[in-house]
Amino acid sequence: MAVGTAAALLAALGGILWLAARRFVGSSVQRLHQGRDSGLMRGKTVLITGANSGLGRATAAELLRLGARVIMGCRDRERAEEAAGQLRREVCPAGGPDSGPNSGGAGELVVKELDLASLSSVRSFCQEMLQEEPRLDVLINNAGVFQCPYMKTEDGFEMQFGVNHLGHFLLTNLLLGLLKSSAPSRIVVVSSKLYKYGDINFEDLNSEQSYNKSFCYSRSKLANILFTRELARRLEGTSVTVNVLHPGVVRTNLGRHIHIPLLVRPLFNLVSWAFFKTPEEGAQTAVYLASSPEVEGVSGRYFGDCKEEELLPKAMDESVARKLWDISEVMVGILK
């Protein structure tokens, strides 16, 4: 009995040490990526959707450190202002982005209201951007809805497809003129490895015949990739690039609609701590695509962990990508 107990304790200790080592290595990787030139993005304006929490917040923090002027496009202005205040305190040691030479080289934060579940909100946001912003160097389509119960956007679209694809589709198209006039400029699209489990069903894009929250999320992420590749084709010769990424499995509030039994939560929390990325780690590829000279002129590619990765054939189907683009134009009202 004593031998068994000792063995169990040793196994537990070994597991704890292994987990601690893994987190240390992960932090080292994060520090490596954060060793960028602090002025790399100075003078550049970056728009990030869903920047008040999770990956978006972490991406905003890193680009702010690099000197960018970061526009946080968020649905809830109050929560966004709160997040912006926290970021200013964390990133700008002199008390804010307008603190002059003592601000440590950090950029500026601006909060604007943007609800991707409302096409009228997207249009109003873009109108404000075009009136107030002389340039836009980087657009990061980050915001997303993950495996929610069936619900519809203000315009009657299934929520995941409506927000993750259609809202960003309209946003990007309405800001293309500003991006082109600011060239060389970049568009970064956040997708997911789960695209592999999705398909584009043109007969039921709105999921009115059947709804599976996991499949619909995967479909929206596949749509992100098809959109990126078709947009890259259309932008050839403009000096505006667009690339898509998967951040890996990250500990964020994106999974708030997933129910985890109370008794299982401690184990889930331990597993997520050991195996999931922190938001800061998950944001590194978006920051890389938004700022690195290594991807200057690179377009239409799929990245993970700051490296290009291969796509499944269904994500490279040009005919599906073009058809999805054409239908999306009609759905959001670009074409009647």
> Using CA atoms, how far apart are residues 273 and 280, in angstroms rounded to an integer?
13
* pLDDT at residue 99, as a whole number: 43
**How confident is the model over 3-20, as a mean pLDDT?**
46
The first and second tokens of residue 81, run together, are 């202002």
pLDDT grade for 246, boundaries at 50, 70 and 90:
very high
Catalytic residue, from 195, 217, 288, 302: name it.
217
Three-point CA angle 153, 156, 162, nearest 5° = 50
**How confident is the model over 222-235, as a mean pLDDT?**
98
* pLDDT at residue 92, as a whole number: 75
Three-point CA angle 186, 125, 202, nearest 5° = 70
226: left (phi over 0), alpha (psi -120 to 50) or beta: alpha
Residues sharing a CB contact under 8 Å with residue 310, sequence separation 6 or more, in sequence order = 302
For residue 311, pLDDT over 60 is answered with yes
User: What is this structure's pTM?
Assistant: 0.84
**How confident is the model over 36-41, as a mean pLDDT?**
80
DSSP 40: T
Q: pLDDT tens, 137-182?
A: 999 999 999 989 999 999 999 999 999 999 999 999 999 999 999 9
C-alpha 25, offset from chain centre: 24
* pLDDT at residue 10, as a whole number: 47
The top-level CATH class assigned to 44-91+105-332 is: alpha beta
pLDDT grade for 53, boundaries at 50, 70 and 90:
very high
114: left (phi over 0), alpha (psi -120 to 50) or beta: beta
**Residue written as token pair 């519809």:** 152
For residue 16, pLDDT over 50 is answered with no
Q: Where are the domains of the chain?
A: 44-91+105-332
- Catalytic, 217? Answer yes
For residue 208, pLDDT over 60 is answered with yes
> Using CA atoms, how far apart are residues 204 and 138, in angstroms rounded to an integer?
33
- Burial state string for 60-89 with b = 16 or more CB within 10 A and e = fewer than 16: bbbbbbbbbbbbbbbbeeeebeebbeebbe
